[in-house]
């Protein structure tokens, strides 16, 4: 196929051309946005020019407001995800190793998983009050589901014969766990962690809007709406995009590469 041949030659394309090609669509969209914004079709308060958005971004960054919001969002994401990772991996391993734990947890997890995380938000707000505790717990709760499922699948997927041969060679429970079960299940666990982090990121912004936390990008956007500060809102969305992109490039793709390269698996 011509497409495939073309795909092969573009690998050796010079760097500046790749950059130019990537930047081109943004320039086109940016130009269209700018023309629409300056044409006065919409009130400038609702459809600010790129210059106004960049100015808002600059102003808020210099005053330290935007970094504070962003930092709180990232910390909330990190704490919630860490809770979910610890609890999810522990529950998943217990489910994979013990029949009793599996019987207890699996029906509960299967019932809880199909409910979208944000639907629990009002319930968490009632139980734990407005603010940080609810937000972090909700993020942890929601992102725990994929982690539990994948860890459980991974431990189940460890070949019985590896476990038995390790036991025959005299490995005790601790060594069995450390040297056989954990490495065997690790690709699945990493996939679960990746899915969990993506899930956490997807609902965190919404949670921040609902839970009325004092700082956080979601709250900043939601609060700016009250004052019709569209430039601030779009600057917030831009920062959210940057954090999301950084997560994608620095965490997800690395994790993926790590698993794919080390275990020869495609995820």
Partner 1 sequence: MSERARSYLRAAVTLACAAALYEALARSGWFAPALMPTLPQVASALAASLADGTMLGHTVSTLYRVLFGLALAIVAGLPLGILMARFRAVENFVLPLASALMPIPSLAWVPVFILWFGLGNTVAILIVFYAALFPMLLNTWTGVRAVNPLWLRAAGAMGAGEQALFWKVIIPGASPFIITGLRQAFLRAWIAVVGAEMLAASDWGLGWVIFDAKEFLNTPLMLASLAVIGAIGFVFERLMFGSLERATVLRWGMVRAAKG
What is the footprint of partner 1 within residues 234-263 (CB under 8 A)? 234, 236-237, 240-241, 243-245, 247-248
Q: Is 225 in the site for partner 1 (CB under 8 A)?
A: yes
Min separation Cβ 127 and partner 1, Å = 6
Give the binding range for partner 1 (CB under 8 A) out of 59-67, 89-97, 106-114, 132-140: 106-114
CB of 229 to partner 1, least distance (A): 10
16 near partner 1, judged by CB under 8 A: no
How far is it, in rounded angstroms, from Cα 267 to Cα 255? 11
Neighbouring C-beta atoms of residue 199, cutoff 10 Å: 20
Comparing CB distances to partner 1, the nearer of 93 and 207 is: 207
- Return contacts of 207-211, CB within 8 angstroms, 24+ apart: 207/118, 207/121, 207/134, 207/135, 207/138, 207/139, 208/73, 208/76, 208/135, 210/118, 210/121, 210/122, 210/125, 211/121, 211/125, 211/130, 211/131, 211/132, 211/134, 211/135, 211/138
**Two tokens, residue 2:** 């011509």
- Please select the residue that binds partner 1; options are 8, 14, 16, 25, rule is CB under 8 A: 25
CA distances from 22 to 17, 47, 246 (A): 8, 25, 17
Show the site string, 30-49: x = touches partner 1 by CB under 8 A, - = not: ----------------xx--
Whole-angstrom Cα distance, residue 58 to residue 25? 24
x-marked contacts with partner 1 along 186-215 as a string, rule CB under 8 A: ---------------xxxxxx--xx-----
| Minimum CB distance to partner 1 smaller for 180 or for 208 | 208
- Binding of residue 93 to partner 1 (CB under 8 A): no
- Opening angle at CA 230, ends 57 and 236, nearest 5: 40
Among 209, 160, 219, which residue's Cα sits nearest to residue 184?
Answer: 160
Binding of residue 103 to partner 1 (CB under 8 A): yes
Residue pair 215/177 in contact by the 8 Å Cβ criterion? no
Spatial CA neighbour of 236 closest among 68, 74, 72, 57? 57
Q: Which of 81, 120, 141, 145 binds partner 1 (CB under 8 A)?
A: 120
State which of positions 69-88 bind partner 1 (CB under 8 A).
none
Among 155, 180, 217, 235, which residue sits at the site for partner 1 (rule: CB under 8 A)?
Answer: 217
Compute the distance between CA of residue 230 and CA of residue 42 in angstroms, rounded to an integer: 12
Interface residue list for partner 1 (CB under 8 A): 1, 3-4, 6-7, 10, 21-26, 28-29, 46-47, 103-104, 106-108, 111-112, 114-123, 125-127, 201-206, 209-210, 217-218, 221-222, 224-225, 228, 230, 233-234, 236-237, 240-241, 243-245, 247-248, 266
């Amino acid at each position: 196929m011509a497409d495939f041949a073309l795909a092969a030659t573009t690998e050796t394309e010079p760097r500046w051309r790749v950059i130019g090609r990537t930047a081109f669509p943004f320039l086109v969209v940016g130009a269209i946005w700018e023309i629409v914004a300056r044409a006065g079709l919409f009130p400038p308060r609702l459809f600010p020019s790129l210059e106004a958005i960049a100015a808002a971004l600059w102003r808020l960054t210099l005053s330290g407001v935007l970094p504070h919001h962003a930092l709180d969002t990232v910390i909330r994401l990190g704490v919630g995800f860490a809770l979910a990772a610890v609890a999810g991996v522990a529950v998943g391993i217990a489910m994979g190793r013990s029949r009793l734990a599996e019987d207890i947890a699996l029906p509960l997890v299967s019932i809880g998983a199909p409910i979208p995380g944000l639907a629990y938000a009002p319930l968490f707000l009632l139980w734990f009050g407005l603010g940080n505790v609810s937000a972090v717990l909700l993020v942890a709760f929601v992102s725990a589901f994929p982690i539990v499922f994948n860890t459980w699948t991974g431990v189940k997927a460890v070949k019985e014969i590896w476990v038995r041969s390790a036991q025959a060679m005299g490995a005790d429970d601790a060594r069995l766990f450390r040297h056989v079960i954990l490495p065997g299940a690790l690709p699945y666990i990493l996939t679960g962690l990746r899915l969990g982090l993506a899930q956490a990121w997807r609902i965190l912004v919404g949670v921040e809007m609902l839970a009325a936390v004092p700082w956080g990008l979601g709250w900043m956007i939601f609060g700016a709406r009250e004052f019709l500060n569209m430039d601030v809102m779009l600057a917030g969305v831009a920062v959210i995009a940057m954090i999301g992109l950084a997560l994608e490039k620095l965490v997800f793709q690395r994790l993926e590469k790590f698993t794919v390269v080390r275990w020869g698996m495609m995820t």
